[in-house]
Structure 1
Amino acid sequence: MITVNNPGSWSYMYAPLEHAEWNGLTPTDLVYPFFMCVMGMCIYIAMRKFDFTCNRATVMKILKRMVLIYLVGLAIGWFSKFCHRLNNPLSGADFFAQLWYTIWSFDTIRLTGVLARLAVCYGATALLAITVRHKHLPYIAGALLLGYFGLLMWGNGFAYDETNILSIVDRAVLTTKHMYLDNGIDPEGLLSTLPAIAHTLLGFLIGGLLFRKSDANVEHLDTPTHITLTKVVPLFVVGTSLLFVGYLLSYGCPINKKVWSPTYVLVTCGLASMLLALLTWVIDVKGKKKWSVFFEVFGVNPLFLFVVSDFFAIVFGAFTFPVGDKQMNVIGYIYTQMLSPIFGQYGGSLVYSLLFIALNWVIGYQLYKRKIYIKL
């Protein structure tokens, strides 16, 4: 996610690193849903510690974490506006007017977003996990996807314009001042969060396949040494089934990230399950772990490093300085003056992304080697 969101130039990106313009799927479109699916698996692990019991303490912990994740996303949005307004002051304004203009941007701040969706999906899935019998969760996920598909069919949901029901609802509830607009559609809007909840529920159920203790007489059945084909094969079978059904249904319900279509949920959850089966076999069963250290650094502090990457991206992009007769930000300077002349326009853009990843990895590695895990 950090790589694809931070190119040297948005005008020069290799096709696999771009999102599908509307219908369809690219490798980049897999990153966010994979994270959603993994979050569902992590919810299974976390709630299992409490035996999936519903009590005041557990509910309050879930709600607190949900609110904190949402507020972090809101803070990132505010910080972005703050930096850009600080670098682009009002013309002719006095000190206090300028100060207010710079600090107060909540009248135009985006209320949705990546972290906002993660917060809602986390809260909904975790609460369902402790209040509903788990055998009913597949039906809830299915009902959400089926109901959402009906809504898309009824409300022109695959139109890439403001006639789309998703756009109509978001503009009516949020207003355009608090939305990200892509042809009138917010890709993390209100209604499209419903299938995202189903997405996280499927991740929760996939986590159950891997971590459920199927034998009460085995105390540590789900430790790496006991993960066998009885764990890996079901993951692969479920993943293959979801992938097949998703692509089969895509003839009537296009795979579309921006509306988070039901087929997008099925296909990406299927691929995530298959990838998890492969990684489980390679890392836990075969014990080939050394190559995964690079990814573990991001895996143990994902939210923190996501926020850090946003911080750097905002600062590097917001503040400008004179270069000859032009004003350039840090991103533009590194790309145009240092990387593009050596690697070309597309190559330079990719190299910038890789250097940006390396910067965040170095920070994450300092935490990793000290076993510091930052959680909400």
Structure 2
Amino acid sequence: MPDQVKPKRNVAVDAYRGLVMLLMMAEVLHFSQVARAYPNSTFWHILAFNQTHVEWTWFGLHDLIQPSFTFLVGVALPYSIRSRQKKGETFAHSLAHTIVRSIVLIALGIFLRSIHRPITYFTFEDTLTQIGMGYTFAFLLAFCRPRWQWVAFGAILFAYWLAWAIYPLPLANFDYATVGVPSEWHTHLLHGFAAHWNKNVNLGQAFDVWFLNLFPRTSPFLYNPGGYLTLSFIPTLGTMLLGLAAGRWLIESPSQIPFRRFLIAGTSLVGAGILLHVLGINPIVKRIWTPAWTLFSGGLCFYLLAAFSWLIDVQGHGRLAFPLVVIGMNSIAAYLIAHLWEDFVESSLHTHLGDRVLYLLGAGLEPLVLGGLTLLIYWSALYWMYRQKILLRI
């Protein structure tokens, strides 16, 4: 019996994932510090805006990192299942592996959030933790017919929206400062029906006040300063299911990229998200992953996947995407490097290069020089792992 030909990797998916991880690692460039040094520069302020999360509604480029990473987890899932089935792995064994992977992702997210803290910091809004909490459900739904996957997607978002919509609003004289919303932040508060999705006065906040205080803490949990929530893993699962659909379409048409499906899905989702926001039915808020955000960001993910597929698979620009592929093929390693190496690398650069080199372009650009060198070291480590065929997987 001839050896089976190993399926080729989808380079476009690797490149897209590489861009996502690059945007995360590029936080070391500290555009906000540079922007403060050049207060009259529109250029640096635009870069700074897109390197941080918006305060509440709408989005910036940085807000697309987590949904893209989550979406791509869904894209990779059909490929992973197909690979395991070709190896003769049973469903029970695959499910056990999936559950273990989910637990490891949750634990790793908690570990990274606990760095520099006196005790384990139990929090569940980290990207890896959110993916881990929904991953097993996505795996099980991957074995359902596409129709039922879409039914599950719609049911998840509607039920989640309804639960928030019926949760009572705070009293008119409520003191938002008690939940970490200072007076200067009040311009971001939503009004009318949309107020059900205001910061730290919602269903998810009430859940976390109960749930997170079940774990040992140095002080009782009162609120998350950024408004992030444990329950966001539920609509995040919706984003994963959108990626699952994209991965299924790619497998079903191996010789032709399903651009039409990607574009129709992207346009429909973006349009639906904007409509819900404009009509006041559900605001687009990444921090609490509203259903409108799931639709809107999911549509943008379809657009980005289509763009990478067109550039690489149609236009043949695979070589130009190589630096991104190096990162994307080792995304977990890139994630860990970005969270664990920054302080050590930056302090080492200060020690061995000194201010004379780091201030070569002026004091205002010192964070950019330091960050650029740090980013180069990150990529070099990933390139070495790529050459050695060391791929960190969970």
Classify the TM-score, shorter chain. Answer: 0.7 to 0.9
Structure 1 position 268, deviation (Å)? 1.2
Map residues 1-376 of structure 1 onto 2, 5 A cutoff.
1-3=23-25, 5-8=27-30, 14-50=48-84, 55-81=91-117, 105-106=119-120, 108-130=121-143, 132-155=144-167, 156=169, 157-161=196-200, 163-175=201-213, 181-183=223-225, 185=227, 187=228, 189-213=229-253, 222=254, 226-228=255-257, 231-251=258-278, 252=280, 253-313=282-342, 315=344, 339=358, 342-345=361-364, 347-376=365-394
Bigger mean CA offset, 120-129 vs 40-49: 120-129
1:30-52: CA deviations, max 9, x gaps? Answer: 11111111110001211123459
Code of the aligned partner of 1:26: G
Q: Hey, what's the Cα distance between the residues in 1 that align with 2:380 and 2:220?
A: 34
Bigger mean CA offset, 42-51 vs 363-372: 42-51
Q: Secondary structure at the match of 2:58?
A: coil
Q: Hey, what's the Cα distance between the residues in 2 that align with 1:3 and 1:149?
A: 33
TM-score, normalised relative to structure 1? 0.77
1:56-85: CA deviations, max 9, x gaps? Answer: 11111111111122222233234433xxxx
Code of the aligned partner of 2:204: L
TM-score, normalised relative to structure 2? 0.73
Q: Is the contact made by 1:9 and 1:335 (CA closer than 8 Å) also made in structure 2?
A: no
Instruction: Calculate percent identity across the aligned residue pairs.
Output: 21
1:322-361: CA deviations, max 9, x gaps? Answer: xxxxxxx67999998865673554x444444433322211
Structure 1 position 372, deviation (Å)? 2.4
Q: What does residue 320 of structure 1 align with?
A: none
Code of the aligned partner of 2:240: T
Code of the aligned partner of 1:119: G
Q: Hey, what's the Cα distance between the residues in 1 that align with 2:259 and 2:203?
A: 40
Query: Are residues 136 and 335 of structure 1, via their aligned partners in 2, closer, same or farther at CA, if it must alter by over 3 Å?
Result: farther
Q: Hey, what's the Cα distance between the residues in 2 that align with 1:136 and 1:48?
A: 19
Q: Hey, what's the Cα distance between the residues in 1 that align with 2:308 and 2:330?
A: 19
Question: Unaligned stretches of 5+ in structure 1?
Answer: 82-100, 214-221, 318-328
Structure 1 position 259, deviation (Å)? 0.8
Q: What does residue 179 of structure 2 align with?
A: none
Structure 1 position 298, deviation (Å)? 0.8
Q: Hey, what's the Cα distance between the residues in 1 that align with 2:198 and 2:53?
A: 17
1:3-50: CA deviations, max 9, x gaps? Answer: 454354865561121210111111110111111111100012111234
1:106-143: CA deviations, max 9, x gaps? Answer: 2x44354221112112222112213x333201111111
Could you say what the CA RMSD is over the residues aligned between the two structures, in angstroms?
A: 3.0
1:204-225: CA deviations, max 9, x gaps? Answer: 0121122225xxxxxxxx1xxx
Query: Are residues 232 and 15 of structure 1, via their aligned partners in 2, closer, same or farther at CA, if it must alter by over 3 Å?
Result: same
Q: Is the contact made by 1:152 and 1:158 (CA closer than 8 Å) also made in structure 2?
A: yes
Q: Secondary structure at the match of 2:54?
A: coil
Q: Secondary structure at the match of 1:17?
A: coil
Code of the aligned partner of 2:151: Y
Structure 1 position 292, deviation (Å)? 0.3
Q: Is the contact made by 2:262 and 2:303 (CA closer than 8 Å) also made in structure 1?
A: yes
Q: Hey, what's the Cα distance between the residues in 2 that align with 1:236 and 1:352?
A: 39
Structure 1 position 158, deviation (Å)? 1.6
Q: Hey, what's the Cα distance between the residues in 2 that align with 1:245 and 1:66?
A: 31
Q: Is the contact made by 1:244 and 1:267 (CA closer than 8 Å) also made in structure 2?
A: yes
Structure 1 position 180, deviation (Å)? 9.9
Q: Hey, what's the Cα distance between the residues in 2 that align with 1:70 and 1:42?
A: 19
Question: Unaligned stretches of 5+ in structure 2?
Answer: 1-22, 36-47, 170-195
